[in-house]
A and B are shown apart, each in its own frame.
Chain A
Amino acid sequence: GAVVSQHPSWVICKSGTSVKIECRSLDFQATTMFWYRQFPKQSLMLMATSNEGSKATYEQGVEKDKFLINHASLTLSTLTVTSAHPEDSSFYICSARDPKGNEKLFFGSGTQLSVL
């Protein structure tokens, strides 16, 4: 199946700083990528849909000014957590749609963010 690479796999930062997470589709072009957030022992919650060349679509309750999404190319989407606070500590996961056009989604390996 298609490979989605996410980097970094974990990051620790100080409160008030910004953190950028990258999501790359390695062997295919992804016009749409999705960003999820997962708390320990909980389900995945969709944060936003990232569309190449246009603005991301955010889910209700997700602060777009805090979670900046950029999808500047067909193989890269980035999520920047701005002015991070301890409550932003979570596991962030991206996914991309199967390039064959079906409903399959391939997920990155996730990024564990810890804000001190």
Chain B
Amino acid sequence: QQQVKQSPQSLIVQKGGISIINCAYENTAFDYFPWYQQFPGKGPALLIAIRPDVSEKKEGRFTISFNKSAKQFSLHIMDSQPGDSATYFCAATSGGGGNKLTFGTGTQLKVEL
């Protein structure tokens, strides 16, 4: 129940294209869903996050789409750039969980010229 399933494992996108990463969860107590970006040898950095009371959140080129009934959420990176090449992790937590994040398995994104 604590798992967060993430797909795809790896993704190659052409520069200017849209990168889409999907996550699914089982625990209906989850109420906060962040996405993290991680470069090799660095810690994760918070990109964008959403709560289940909204279906979409956009910040710059990054958009989270959230489907509460399906228990799925996705990250869309518009106009993907080579600098976006990194590993992306979705995560989930509940207020009662003391902020213990459950991470997805990660997606290695490569944006090619």
Looking at the complex, which one of B49, B98, B100, B104 makes contact with A43 (CB distance below 8 Å)? Answer: B104
> B105 and A106: CB pair below 8 A?
no
Q: How far is the CB of B43 from chain A (nearest CB, A)?
A: 4
**Does A103 make an interface contact (CB < 8 A)?**
yes
Q: How far, in angstroms, from A95 to B101 measured CA to CA in the complex?
A: 11
Which residues in B have their C-beta under 8 angstroms from that of A46? 100-101
Given contacts A42-B106, A43-B89, A112-B41, contact A32 B46 (CB under 8 A): no
> B99 and A105: CB pair below 8 A?
yes
> B103 and A104: CB pair below 8 A?
no
Which residues in B have their C-beta under 8 angstroms from that of A49? 98, 100
Which residues in B have their C-beta under 8 angstroms from that of A91? 41
> B93 and A103: CB pair below 8 A?
yes
Which residues in A have their C-beta under 8 angstroms from that of B46? 1, 104-106
Which residues in A have their C-beta under 8 angstroms from that of B104? 43
**Does A41 make an interface contact (CB < 8 A)?**
yes
A-side interface residues, number (CB < 8 Å): 26
**Does A76 make an interface contact (CB < 8 A)?**
no
Looking at the complex, which one of A1, A43, A104 makes contact with B106 (CB distance below 8 Å)? Answer: A43
> A44 and B98: CB pair below 8 A?
no
**Does B8 make an interface contact (CB < 8 A)?**
no
Which residues in A have their C-beta under 8 angstroms from that of B105? 42-43
Q: How far, in angstroms, from A90 to B8 measured CA to CA in the complex?
A: 24
Q: How far, in angstroms, from A44 to B36 measured CA to CA in the complex?
A: 11
**B83-113 Cβ-contact flags toward A at 8 Å (1 or 0):** 0000001000101001111011110100000
> A103 and B32: CB pair below 8 A?
yes
Q: How far, in angstroms, from A91 to B38 measured CA to CA in the complex?
A: 13
Looking at the complex, which one of A34, A42, A112 makes contact with B100 (CB distance below 8 Å)? Answer: A34
Given contacts A32-B98, A103-B32, contact A43 B103 (CB under 8 A): yes
Give the top 9 A-B pairs by smallest Cβ distance, nearest first. A107-B43, A103-B32, A110-B43, A43-B103, A93-B43, A109-B43, A44-B103, A107-B44, A43-B105
